[in-house]
Structure 1
Amino acid sequence: MSATETKLGKLYGLGIGPGDPELLTLKAHRILTTVPVIAYPCMENGKVLARAIVADYIQAHQIEIPMPLPFSVERSSQPYYDLAAAKIISHLQIGQDVAVLCEGEPMLYGSFMYLFQRLAGQFPTEVVPGISSTLACADMLGVPLTFRDDVLTMIPATLKIEDLRIKLAGIDAAIILKLGRHFPKVYQVLAELGLLERAHYIEYATQPTQQIRPIREITAETVPYWSLIVIPSRGLDQNP
Protein backbone atom coordinates (compact mmCIF):
# COMPACT_ATOMS: atom_id res chain seq x y z
CA MET A 1 0.00 0.00 0.00
CA SER A 2 1.41 3.37 -1.00
CA ALA A 3 1.67 6.32 1.34
CA THR A 4 -1.24 7.98 -0.44
CA GLU A 5 -3.58 5.00 -0.10
CA THR A 6 -6.01 4.80 2.83
CA LYS A 7 -6.37 1.57 4.74
CA LEU A 8 -9.91 0.26 4.47
CA GLY A 9 -12.08 0.16 7.53
CA LYS A 10 -13.36 -3.12 8.93
CA LEU A 11 -17.01 -4.14 8.88
CA TYR A 12 -18.41 -5.88 11.97
CA GLY A 13 -21.70 -7.73 12.14
CA LEU A 14 -22.38 -7.41 15.85
CA GLY A 15 -24.79 -9.87 17.44
CA ILE A 16 -26.17 -8.04 20.48
CA GLY A 17 -28.54 -10.66 21.84
CA PRO A 18 -32.31 -10.83 22.26
CA GLY A 19 -32.87 -7.72 24.36
CA ASP A 20 -31.31 -7.96 27.82
CA PRO A 21 -28.17 -5.75 27.70
CA GLU A 22 -26.42 -8.12 30.13
CA LEU A 23 -26.55 -10.84 27.47
CA LEU A 24 -24.15 -8.86 25.29
CA THR A 25 -20.91 -10.81 24.89
CA LEU A 26 -17.59 -9.39 26.09
CA LYS A 27 -16.32 -9.29 22.52
CA ALA A 28 -19.38 -7.45 21.24
CA HIS A 29 -19.04 -4.95 24.09
CA ARG A 30 -15.39 -4.31 23.29
CA ILE A 31 -16.05 -3.68 19.62
CA LEU A 32 -19.18 -1.64 20.28
CA THR A 33 -17.36 0.73 22.62
CA THR A 34 -14.28 1.22 20.41
CA VAL A 35 -15.50 1.52 16.79
CA PRO A 36 -15.93 5.05 15.42
CA VAL A 37 -19.14 4.25 13.52
CA ILE A 38 -22.27 2.32 14.55
CA ALA A 39 -25.11 1.38 12.20
CA TYR A 40 -28.47 -0.12 13.16
CA PRO A 41 -31.86 -0.91 11.57
CA CYS A 42 -34.94 1.22 12.18
CA MET A 43 -38.47 -0.13 11.88
CA GLU A 44 -41.17 1.54 9.82
CA ASN A 45 -42.92 2.76 12.97
CA GLY A 46 -39.75 4.57 14.05
CA LYS A 47 -38.74 2.09 16.75
CA VAL A 48 -35.02 1.35 17.02
CA LEU A 49 -34.77 -1.82 19.09
CA ALA A 50 -31.13 -2.65 18.35
CA ARG A 51 -29.87 0.73 19.52
CA ALA A 52 -32.12 0.66 22.57
CA ILE A 53 -30.54 -2.61 23.73
CA VAL A 54 -27.04 -1.11 23.88
CA ALA A 55 -27.91 2.57 24.37
CA ASP A 56 -25.96 2.81 27.65
CA TYR A 57 -22.74 1.78 25.87
CA ILE A 58 -22.90 4.20 22.92
CA GLN A 59 -20.67 7.24 23.32
CA ALA A 60 -21.29 10.80 22.17
CA HIS A 61 -18.29 10.89 19.82
CA GLN A 62 -19.38 7.82 17.86
CA ILE A 63 -21.01 8.36 14.48
CA GLU A 64 -24.44 6.74 14.13
CA ILE A 65 -26.05 5.48 10.93
CA PRO A 66 -29.77 4.69 11.30
CA MET A 67 -30.89 2.29 8.55
CA PRO A 68 -34.66 2.52 7.82
CA LEU A 69 -35.83 -0.93 6.75
CA PRO A 70 -39.36 -2.19 5.97
CA PHE A 71 -40.27 -5.31 7.93
CA SER A 72 -43.31 -6.20 5.84
CA VAL A 73 -43.26 -8.86 3.12
CA GLU A 74 -45.33 -6.61 0.86
CA ARG A 75 -42.50 -4.13 0.43
CA SER A 76 -39.13 -4.97 -1.06
CA SER A 77 -36.30 -4.21 1.35
CA GLN A 78 -33.54 -4.46 -1.26
CA PRO A 79 -33.39 -0.74 -2.19
CA TYR A 80 -33.18 0.10 1.51
CA TYR A 81 -30.23 -2.25 1.98
CA ASP A 82 -28.56 -0.68 -1.05
CA LEU A 83 -28.89 2.76 0.55
CA ALA A 84 -27.62 1.48 3.90
CA ALA A 85 -24.66 -0.22 2.24
CA ALA A 86 -23.75 3.00 0.42
CA LYS A 87 -23.69 4.95 3.70
CA ILE A 88 -21.53 2.31 5.36
CA ILE A 89 -19.16 2.19 2.38
CA SER A 90 -18.53 5.94 2.66
CA HIS A 91 -16.98 5.31 6.10
CA LEU A 92 -15.17 2.06 5.32
CA GLN A 93 -13.45 3.65 2.33
CA ILE A 94 -11.82 6.29 4.51
CA GLY A 95 -10.56 3.77 7.04
CA GLN A 96 -13.29 3.95 9.66
CA ASP A 97 -14.45 0.67 11.19
CA VAL A 98 -18.23 0.19 11.23
CA ALA A 99 -20.21 -2.04 13.60
CA VAL A 100 -23.67 -3.02 12.38
CA LEU A 101 -25.92 -3.89 15.31
CA CYS A 102 -28.07 -6.96 14.87
CA GLU A 103 -30.60 -8.24 17.39
CA GLY A 104 -29.94 -11.84 18.30
CA GLU A 105 -27.60 -13.74 15.99
CA PRO A 106 -26.49 -11.93 12.81
CA MET A 107 -26.56 -15.02 10.59
CA LEU A 108 -29.95 -16.33 11.75
CA TYR A 109 -32.76 -14.35 10.11
CA GLY A 110 -30.62 -11.28 10.75
CA SER A 111 -30.78 -8.05 8.77
CA PHE A 112 -26.97 -7.99 8.69
CA MET A 113 -26.89 -10.92 6.27
CA TYR A 114 -28.06 -8.69 3.43
CA LEU A 115 -25.31 -6.17 4.13
CA PHE A 116 -22.83 -9.01 4.44
CA GLN A 117 -23.75 -10.16 0.92
CA ARG A 118 -23.17 -6.68 -0.43
CA LEU A 119 -19.99 -5.71 1.43
CA ALA A 120 -18.01 -8.73 2.66
CA GLY A 121 -16.25 -9.20 -0.67
CA GLN A 122 -15.03 -5.59 -0.71
CA PHE A 123 -13.97 -4.92 2.88
CA PRO A 124 -12.43 -6.82 5.82
CA THR A 125 -15.39 -8.32 7.66
CA GLU A 126 -15.95 -10.06 10.97
CA VAL A 127 -19.20 -11.48 12.31
CA VAL A 128 -19.55 -11.62 16.10
CA PRO A 129 -22.05 -14.26 17.29
CA GLY A 130 -24.94 -13.25 19.50
CA ILE A 131 -27.55 -15.05 21.58
CA SER A 132 -30.65 -15.62 19.48
CA SER A 133 -34.12 -14.98 20.85
CA THR A 134 -35.17 -18.23 19.19
CA LEU A 135 -33.06 -20.06 21.78
CA ALA A 136 -33.29 -17.62 24.68
CA CYS A 137 -37.08 -17.96 24.61
CA ALA A 138 -36.84 -21.60 25.72
CA ASP A 139 -34.79 -20.53 28.74
CA MET A 140 -37.32 -17.83 29.63
CA LEU A 141 -40.16 -20.35 29.29
CA GLY A 142 -38.29 -23.03 31.21
CA VAL A 143 -38.88 -25.72 28.58
CA PRO A 144 -36.06 -27.93 27.26
CA LEU A 145 -36.21 -27.87 23.48
CA THR A 146 -34.63 -31.15 22.46
CA PHE A 147 -33.69 -34.54 23.92
CA ARG A 148 -31.31 -37.15 22.51
CA ASP A 149 -31.82 -37.38 18.72
CA ASP A 150 -34.61 -34.82 18.45
CA VAL A 151 -34.58 -32.47 15.46
CA LEU A 152 -35.33 -28.79 16.08
CA THR A 153 -37.23 -26.98 13.31
CA MET A 154 -37.36 -23.18 12.98
CA ILE A 155 -40.30 -21.90 10.98
CA PRO A 156 -41.16 -18.30 9.99
CA ALA A 157 -44.86 -17.59 10.44
CA THR A 158 -44.78 -15.64 7.18
CA LEU A 159 -45.08 -18.91 5.21
CA LYS A 160 -48.34 -19.75 3.45
CA ILE A 161 -50.75 -21.79 5.55
CA GLU A 162 -50.30 -24.91 3.42
CA ASP A 163 -46.53 -24.69 3.88
CA LEU A 164 -46.96 -24.30 7.61
CA ARG A 165 -48.98 -27.52 7.70
CA ILE A 166 -46.23 -29.37 5.86
CA LYS A 167 -43.41 -27.98 8.01
CA LEU A 168 -45.19 -28.62 11.33
CA ALA A 169 -46.48 -32.10 10.59
CA GLY A 170 -44.47 -34.73 12.46
CA ILE A 171 -42.06 -32.32 14.17
CA ASP A 172 -39.93 -33.31 17.15
CA ALA A 173 -39.62 -29.72 18.38
CA ALA A 174 -40.18 -26.35 16.74
CA ILE A 175 -39.84 -22.61 17.12
CA ILE A 176 -42.22 -20.40 15.14
CA LEU A 177 -41.02 -16.84 14.76
CA LYS A 178 -42.14 -13.58 13.11
CA LEU A 179 -45.68 -14.07 14.38
CA GLY A 180 -47.33 -10.65 14.42
CA ARG A 181 -50.40 -10.58 12.19
CA HIS A 182 -49.67 -14.15 11.05
CA PHE A 183 -50.74 -15.56 14.42
CA PRO A 184 -54.29 -16.60 13.36
CA LYS A 185 -53.14 -18.95 10.59
CA VAL A 186 -50.42 -20.42 12.82
CA TYR A 187 -52.99 -21.01 15.57
CA GLN A 188 -55.30 -22.69 13.06
CA VAL A 189 -52.57 -25.08 11.90
CA LEU A 190 -51.51 -25.91 15.46
CA ALA A 191 -55.13 -26.71 16.32
CA GLU A 192 -55.51 -28.88 13.21
CA LEU A 193 -52.37 -30.86 14.03
CA GLY A 194 -53.17 -31.27 17.72
CA LEU A 195 -50.17 -29.18 18.80
CA LEU A 196 -51.85 -26.50 20.90
CA GLU A 197 -51.29 -28.38 24.17
CA ARG A 198 -47.54 -28.44 23.51
CA ALA A 199 -47.32 -24.83 22.30
CA HIS A 200 -45.90 -22.05 24.49
CA TYR A 201 -46.22 -18.35 23.62
CA ILE A 202 -43.72 -15.62 24.55
CA GLU A 203 -43.15 -12.06 23.36
CA TYR A 204 -40.16 -9.74 23.78
CA ALA A 205 -38.07 -12.51 25.32
CA THR A 206 -35.51 -11.26 27.90
CA GLN A 207 -36.69 -7.65 27.52
CA PRO A 208 -38.39 -5.60 30.26
CA THR A 209 -41.68 -5.95 28.35
CA GLN A 210 -41.43 -9.76 28.16
CA GLN A 211 -44.74 -11.56 28.51
CA ILE A 212 -45.58 -15.26 28.69
CA ARG A 213 -49.25 -15.94 28.06
CA PRO A 214 -51.42 -19.05 27.55
CA ILE A 215 -51.73 -19.46 23.80
CA ARG A 216 -55.50 -20.07 23.95
CA GLU A 217 -56.03 -16.67 25.61
CA ILE A 218 -54.22 -14.60 22.98
CA THR A 219 -56.08 -12.38 20.55
CA ALA A 220 -54.53 -11.70 17.16
CA GLU A 221 -54.59 -7.91 17.62
CA THR A 222 -52.22 -8.12 20.59
CA VAL A 223 -49.46 -10.19 18.97
CA PRO A 224 -46.31 -8.18 18.14
CA TYR A 225 -43.73 -9.04 15.50
CA TRP A 226 -41.24 -9.87 18.28
CA SER A 227 -43.13 -12.91 19.51
CA LEU A 228 -42.47 -16.63 19.32
CA ILE A 229 -44.22 -19.94 19.76
CA VAL A 230 -42.15 -22.77 21.17
CA ILE A 231 -43.18 -26.40 20.76
CA PRO A 232 -40.76 -28.35 22.95
CA SER A 233 -39.80 -31.98 22.47
CA ARG A 234 -42.15 -34.80 23.41
CA GLY A 235 -39.24 -35.93 25.58
CA LEU A 236 -40.67 -33.69 28.27
CA ASP A 237 -43.35 -36.32 28.77
CA GLN A 238 -40.95 -39.25 28.76
CA ASN A 239 -38.70 -40.69 31.45
CA PRO A 240 -35.01 -39.76 31.05
Structure 2
Amino acid sequence: MTKLEAIAGCAHAGTLYGIGVGPGDVRYTTLRAAGLIGSVDVIAYFAKRGREGNARRIVSPLLSTGQREMRLEYPLTDEIPAADPAYRSAIAAFYAATADALSVELNGGRSVGLLAEGDPFFYGSFMHMWRRLEKHHPVEVVPGVTGMSGCWTRANAPITWGDDVLTVMPGTLPEATLIDRLSNADAAVIMKVGRNFAKVRRAIDAAGLLGRAIYVERGTMSEERVLPLCDHDGDVTVPYFAIILIPGQGRRL
Protein backbone atom coordinates (compact mmCIF):
# COMPACT_ATOMS: atom_id res chain seq x y z
CA MET A 1 0.00 0.00 0.00
CA THR A 2 1.34 3.42 -0.98
CA LYS A 3 1.38 6.39 1.41
CA LEU A 4 -1.38 8.02 -0.63
CA GLU A 5 -3.57 4.91 -0.36
CA ALA A 6 -2.91 4.73 3.38
CA ILE A 7 -4.01 8.34 3.84
CA ALA A 8 -6.79 8.59 1.26
CA GLY A 9 -8.18 5.06 1.45
CA CYS A 10 -9.03 2.73 -1.42
CA ALA A 11 -12.23 2.03 -3.33
CA HIS A 12 -14.74 -0.61 -2.20
CA ALA A 13 -16.38 -3.10 -4.55
CA GLY A 14 -19.78 -2.17 -5.93
CA THR A 15 -19.58 1.44 -4.73
CA LEU A 16 -20.22 4.54 -6.80
CA TYR A 17 -17.95 7.47 -5.99
CA GLY A 18 -18.88 10.98 -7.07
CA ILE A 19 -15.41 12.49 -7.20
CA GLY A 20 -15.01 16.26 -7.19
CA VAL A 21 -11.85 17.02 -9.16
CA GLY A 22 -11.61 20.75 -8.45
CA PRO A 23 -11.59 23.86 -10.64
CA GLY A 24 -9.06 22.87 -13.30
CA ASP A 25 -5.56 22.50 -11.88
CA VAL A 26 -4.97 18.91 -10.80
CA ARG A 27 -2.98 20.17 -7.80
CA TYR A 28 -6.26 21.33 -6.25
CA THR A 29 -7.62 17.78 -6.24
CA THR A 30 -8.06 16.46 -2.68
CA LEU A 31 -6.11 13.53 -1.27
CA ARG A 32 -9.29 11.45 -1.02
CA ALA A 33 -10.15 12.16 -4.64
CA ALA A 34 -6.63 11.37 -5.86
CA GLY A 35 -6.56 8.08 -3.95
CA LEU A 36 -9.89 6.96 -5.40
CA ILE A 37 -9.04 8.03 -8.93
CA GLY A 38 -6.09 5.67 -8.84
CA SER A 39 -7.89 2.77 -7.19
CA VAL A 40 -11.42 2.47 -8.62
CA ASP A 41 -12.07 -0.27 -11.18
CA VAL A 42 -13.78 2.09 -13.61
CA ILE A 43 -13.30 5.82 -14.24
CA ALA A 44 -16.47 7.40 -15.66
CA TYR A 45 -16.81 10.94 -16.95
CA PHE A 46 -19.22 13.13 -18.88
CA ALA A 47 -18.07 14.71 -22.12
CA LYS A 48 -19.37 16.89 -24.89
CA ARG A 49 -19.50 15.29 -28.33
CA GLY A 50 -16.04 15.36 -29.91
CA ARG A 51 -14.32 16.60 -26.72
CA GLU A 52 -12.05 14.83 -24.26
CA GLY A 53 -14.15 15.69 -21.22
CA ASN A 54 -13.02 18.46 -18.87
CA ALA A 55 -13.00 16.40 -15.69
CA ARG A 56 -11.08 13.59 -17.38
CA ARG A 57 -8.51 16.06 -18.71
CA ILE A 58 -7.98 17.52 -15.23
CA VAL A 59 -7.15 14.17 -13.61
CA SER A 60 -5.24 12.57 -16.49
CA PRO A 61 -1.94 12.62 -14.50
CA LEU A 62 -3.61 10.55 -11.76
CA LEU A 63 -5.05 7.76 -13.87
CA SER A 64 -3.60 4.26 -13.56
CA THR A 65 -2.16 2.50 -16.59
CA GLY A 66 -4.75 0.24 -18.19
CA GLN A 67 -7.57 1.55 -16.02
CA ARG A 68 -10.97 1.05 -17.70
CA GLU A 69 -12.84 4.19 -18.63
CA MET A 70 -16.51 4.95 -19.36
CA ARG A 71 -17.03 7.96 -21.56
CA LEU A 72 -20.55 9.32 -21.05
CA GLU A 73 -21.23 11.55 -24.05
CA TYR A 74 -24.04 14.08 -23.83
CA PRO A 75 -26.48 13.89 -26.78
CA LEU A 76 -26.43 17.71 -26.79
CA THR A 77 -25.25 20.52 -24.54
CA ASP A 78 -25.90 24.13 -25.52
CA GLU A 79 -27.16 23.57 -29.06
CA ILE A 80 -30.70 24.42 -27.92
CA PRO A 81 -31.93 26.21 -24.76
CA ALA A 82 -32.13 24.10 -21.60
CA ALA A 83 -35.79 25.10 -21.19
CA ASP A 84 -36.72 23.62 -24.59
CA PRO A 85 -38.85 20.45 -24.15
CA ALA A 86 -36.66 18.67 -26.74
CA TYR A 87 -33.57 19.36 -24.63
CA ARG A 88 -35.20 18.18 -21.43
CA SER A 89 -36.47 15.00 -23.09
CA ALA A 90 -33.10 14.12 -24.63
CA ILE A 91 -31.12 14.79 -21.46
CA ALA A 92 -33.58 12.92 -19.23
CA ALA A 93 -33.33 9.86 -21.50
CA PHE A 94 -29.54 10.15 -21.50
CA TYR A 95 -29.37 10.32 -17.71
CA ALA A 96 -31.69 7.31 -17.37
CA ALA A 97 -29.57 5.24 -19.77
CA THR A 98 -26.36 6.36 -18.06
CA ALA A 99 -27.70 5.36 -14.64
CA ASP A 100 -28.58 1.94 -16.03
CA ALA A 101 -25.06 1.52 -17.45
CA LEU A 102 -23.47 2.49 -14.15
CA SER A 103 -25.79 0.13 -12.30
CA VAL A 104 -24.57 -2.79 -14.44
CA GLU A 105 -20.99 -2.06 -13.35
CA LEU A 106 -21.95 -1.74 -9.69
CA ASN A 107 -24.05 -4.91 -9.72
CA GLY A 108 -21.01 -6.67 -11.16
CA GLY A 109 -19.04 -5.76 -8.03
CA ARG A 110 -16.92 -3.09 -9.67
CA SER A 111 -16.16 0.25 -8.04
CA VAL A 112 -16.89 3.25 -10.23
CA GLY A 113 -15.45 6.75 -9.88
CA LEU A 114 -17.69 9.28 -11.64
CA LEU A 115 -15.68 12.46 -12.08
CA ALA A 116 -17.24 15.87 -11.50
CA GLU A 117 -15.74 19.26 -12.26
CA GLY A 118 -15.53 21.35 -9.11
CA ASP A 119 -17.82 19.82 -6.47
CA PRO A 120 -20.26 16.98 -7.32
CA PHE A 121 -23.18 18.61 -5.49
CA PHE A 122 -22.79 22.05 -7.08
CA TYR A 123 -24.45 22.39 -10.51
CA GLY A 124 -23.12 18.93 -11.40
CA SER A 125 -24.41 16.18 -13.69
CA PHE A 126 -23.39 13.70 -11.00
CA MET A 127 -26.43 14.78 -8.98
CA HIS A 128 -28.71 13.20 -11.57
CA MET A 129 -26.89 9.89 -11.11
CA TRP A 130 -26.98 10.22 -7.31
CA ARG A 131 -30.75 10.76 -7.39
CA ARG A 132 -31.28 7.64 -9.50
CA LEU A 133 -28.78 5.30 -7.80
CA GLU A 134 -28.26 6.19 -4.14
CA LYS A 135 -31.21 4.10 -2.94
CA HIS A 136 -29.93 1.00 -4.73
CA HIS A 137 -26.13 1.12 -4.39
CA PRO A 138 -23.54 2.38 -1.90
CA VAL A 139 -22.58 5.92 -2.93
CA GLU A 140 -19.88 8.17 -1.52
CA VAL A 141 -19.60 11.80 -2.55
CA VAL A 142 -16.10 13.27 -2.42
CA PRO A 143 -16.26 17.08 -2.16
CA GLY A 144 -14.07 19.17 -4.41
CA VAL A 145 -12.82 22.75 -4.59
CA THR A 146 -15.55 24.64 -6.46
CA GLY A 147 -14.83 26.51 -9.64
CA MET A 148 -15.96 29.76 -8.04
CA SER A 149 -13.59 29.47 -5.08
CA GLY A 150 -10.73 28.63 -7.41
CA CYS A 151 -11.59 31.70 -9.48
CA TRP A 152 -11.89 34.23 -6.65
CA THR A 153 -8.61 32.96 -5.22
CA ARG A 154 -6.82 33.36 -8.56
CA ALA A 155 -8.41 36.80 -8.95
CA ASN A 156 -7.01 37.73 -5.51
CA ALA A 157 -10.49 38.88 -4.57
CA PRO A 158 -11.94 38.10 -1.12
CA ILE A 159 -15.59 37.43 -1.93
CA THR A 160 -17.34 38.14 1.40
CA TRP A 161 -16.57 40.32 4.41
CA GLY A 162 -18.26 40.44 7.80
CA ASP A 163 -22.00 39.91 7.37
CA ASP A 164 -22.01 39.90 3.55
CA VAL A 165 -24.45 37.43 2.02
CA LEU A 166 -23.17 35.65 -1.09
CA THR A 167 -25.65 35.11 -3.93
CA VAL A 168 -24.84 32.50 -6.58
CA MET A 169 -26.90 32.54 -9.75
CA PRO A 170 -26.79 31.03 -13.25
CA GLY A 171 -26.45 33.34 -16.21
CA THR A 172 -29.30 31.47 -17.86
CA LEU A 173 -31.83 33.44 -15.79
CA PRO A 174 -33.92 36.09 -17.59
CA GLU A 175 -32.24 39.50 -17.73
CA ALA A 176 -34.88 41.15 -15.52
CA THR A 177 -34.40 38.44 -12.87
CA LEU A 178 -30.62 38.90 -12.94
CA ILE A 179 -31.00 42.66 -12.47
CA ASP A 180 -33.39 42.20 -9.55
CA ARG A 181 -31.19 39.69 -7.73
CA LEU A 182 -27.99 41.59 -8.37
CA SER A 183 -29.57 44.82 -7.12
CA ASN A 184 -30.17 43.16 -3.75
CA ALA A 185 -26.89 41.23 -3.47
CA ASP A 186 -24.00 42.03 -1.12
CA ALA A 187 -21.68 39.79 -3.12
CA ALA A 188 -22.41 37.64 -6.16
CA VAL A 189 -21.09 34.89 -8.36
CA ILE A 190 -22.59 34.35 -11.80
CA MET A 191 -22.11 30.88 -13.28
CA LYS A 192 -23.00 29.49 -16.71
CA VAL A 193 -22.01 32.65 -18.50
CA GLY A 194 -21.03 31.31 -21.96
CA ARG A 195 -23.58 32.38 -24.56
CA ASN A 196 -25.34 34.49 -21.91
CA PHE A 197 -22.38 36.83 -21.50
CA ALA A 198 -23.81 39.93 -23.21
CA LYS A 199 -27.08 39.63 -21.25
CA VAL A 200 -25.24 39.10 -17.96
CA ARG A 201 -22.98 42.10 -18.56
CA ARG A 202 -25.99 44.32 -19.30
CA ALA A 203 -27.70 43.14 -16.10
CA ILE A 204 -24.62 43.86 -13.98
CA ASP A 205 -24.35 47.32 -15.52
CA ALA A 206 -28.07 47.99 -14.92
CA ALA A 207 -27.66 46.95 -11.26
CA GLY A 208 -24.83 49.47 -10.86
CA LEU A 209 -22.18 46.82 -10.19
CA LEU A 210 -20.04 46.97 -13.32
CA GLY A 211 -17.19 48.74 -11.51
CA ARG A 212 -16.88 45.90 -8.95
CA ALA A 213 -17.29 42.96 -11.33
CA ILE A 214 -14.38 40.68 -12.23
CA TYR A 215 -14.30 38.39 -15.24
CA VAL A 216 -12.40 35.11 -14.81
CA GLU A 217 -11.87 32.68 -17.67
CA ARG A 218 -10.45 29.18 -17.12
CA GLY A 219 -9.47 29.96 -13.54
CA THR A 220 -6.49 27.92 -12.23
CA MET A 221 -5.85 26.50 -15.73
CA SER A 222 -2.89 27.25 -17.99
CA GLU A 223 -5.03 29.54 -20.22
CA GLU A 224 -6.32 31.54 -17.25
CA ARG A 225 -7.53 35.08 -17.91
CA VAL A 226 -8.57 37.58 -15.21
CA LEU A 227 -9.65 41.17 -15.85
CA PRO A 228 -12.17 43.80 -14.74
CA LEU A 229 -15.47 43.10 -16.46
CA CYS A 230 -15.64 46.69 -17.68
CA ASP A 231 -12.52 46.00 -19.78
CA HIS A 232 -14.13 43.04 -21.57
CA ASP A 233 -16.01 43.38 -24.83
CA GLY A 234 -19.64 42.69 -23.98
CA ASP A 235 -20.79 41.56 -27.44
CA VAL A 236 -19.10 38.16 -27.54
CA THR A 237 -19.68 34.56 -26.53
CA VAL A 238 -17.23 33.48 -23.86
CA PRO A 239 -16.00 29.94 -23.08
CA TYR A 240 -17.80 27.45 -20.86
CA PHE A 241 -15.16 27.95 -18.16
CA ALA A 242 -16.01 31.60 -17.54
CA ILE A 243 -17.40 33.13 -14.37
CA ILE A 244 -18.12 36.64 -13.09
CA LEU A 245 -17.38 37.66 -9.51
CA ILE A 246 -18.77 40.65 -7.62
CA PRO A 247 -16.89 40.84 -4.30
CA GLY A 248 -18.70 42.12 -1.22
CA GLN A 249 -17.82 45.35 0.53
CA GLY A 250 -18.98 44.52 4.04
CA ARG A 251 -17.38 45.10 7.41
CA ARG A 252 -13.57 45.13 7.21
CA LEU A 253 -11.57 45.36 10.42
When the two structures are superposed, what TM-score results if normalisation uses the length of structure 2?
Answer: 0.87
- Pairwise mapping of residues 183-198 of structure 1 onto structure 2 (< 5 A)? 183-198=197-212
Aligned to 2:17: 12
- Runs of 4+ off more than 6 Å: none
Confirm whether residue 53 of structure 1 aligns to residue 58 of structure 2.
yes
Cα distance change, pair 239–135 in 1 and its aligned pair in 2 (3 A)? closer
Segments of 5+ residues of structure 2 without an aligned counterpart are 1-11
Distance 1:214 1:239 in 2: 22
For residue 71 of structure 1, what is the amino acid of its counterpart?
Answer: T
Return the match for 2:227 from 190, 205, 213. Answer: 213
Which shows bigger deviation, 158-167 or 169-178? 158-167
Confirm whether residue 138 of structure 1 aligns to residue 144 of structure 2.
no
Residue deviations 1:168-203 (CA, integer Å, cap 9, x gap): 112100000110010111111111111000100001
Aligned to 1:129: 143
Aligned to 1:233: 248
Confirm whether residue 62 of structure 1 aligns to residue 77 of structure 2.
no
Segments of 5+ residues of structure 1 without an aligned counterpart are 1-6
Confirm whether residue 91 of structure 1 aligns to residue 105 of structure 2.
yes
Distance 1:48 1:176 in 2: 23
Offset of residue 239 of structure 1: 4.9
Residue deviations 1:40-97 (CA, integer Å, cap 9, x gap): 0101352411100011111232211111123321422211111211211111011001
Confirm whether residue 28 of structure 1 aligns to residue 43 of structure 2.
no
**Does the CA-based 8 Å contact 1:11-1:126 persist in structure 2?**
yes
Offset of residue 217 of structure 1: 3.2
When the two structures are superposed, what TM-score results if normalisation uses the length of structure 1?
Answer: 0.92
Return the match for 2:77 from 46, 71, 74. Answer: 71
Return the match for 1:176 from 182, 190, 200. Answer: 190
Aligned to 1:120: 134
RMSD between aligned residues: 1.6
Q: How many residues of Structure 1 are paired with residues of Structure 2 in the alignment?
A: 232
Offset of residue 233 of structure 1: 0.5
